[in-house]
């Protein structure tokens, strides 16, 4: 498991999400993969992997990465999934005509 240090944690009840500012030290190792970070956040904060969004910022020349993460209460519908479902509906209408 990756050692995540919490810089700031806040909860937004209106948007139904928690915001995390984290830092990961990784001396002698490459920047951790985004999927590994998401799994570590899910384990540490008892969240669902499907409900976590992560942005990573590596500090150039230093073995650390800053992370901004959102843990949503509801499942995230990604833009590509919305586009696929809209395209499928349009194609269904064309096939029916």
Verdict on whether the full-model pTM lies above 0.95: no
Residue 66: partners with Cβ closer than 8 Å, 6 or more residues away? 7, 21, 22, 23, 56, 57, 58, 59
pLDDT in tens, the chain (97 residues): 688 899 999 999 999 999 999 999 998 888 899 999 999 999 999 888 999 999 999 988 899 999 999 999 987 766 665 566 666 666 665 555 5
Which domains are present in the chain? 4-96 (3.30.70.330)
Question: Can you name the residues that pair with 8 across neighbouring β-strands?
Answer: 21
- Give the C-alpha separation, 33 to 23, whole Å: 14
């Amino acid at each position: 498991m990756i050692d995540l240090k919490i810089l700031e944690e806040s909860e937004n009840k209106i948007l139904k999400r928690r915001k995390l500012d984290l830092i990961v030290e990784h001396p002698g190792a490459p920047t951790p993969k985004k999927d590994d970070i998401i799994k570590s956040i899910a384990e540490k904060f008892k969240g669902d992997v499907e409900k976590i969004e992560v942005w990573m910022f590596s500090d150039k020349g230093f073995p650390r990465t800053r992370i901004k993460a959102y843990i949503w209460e509801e499942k995230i519908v990604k833009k590509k999934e919305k586009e696929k479902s809209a395209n499928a509906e349009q194609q269904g209408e064309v096939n029916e005509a």
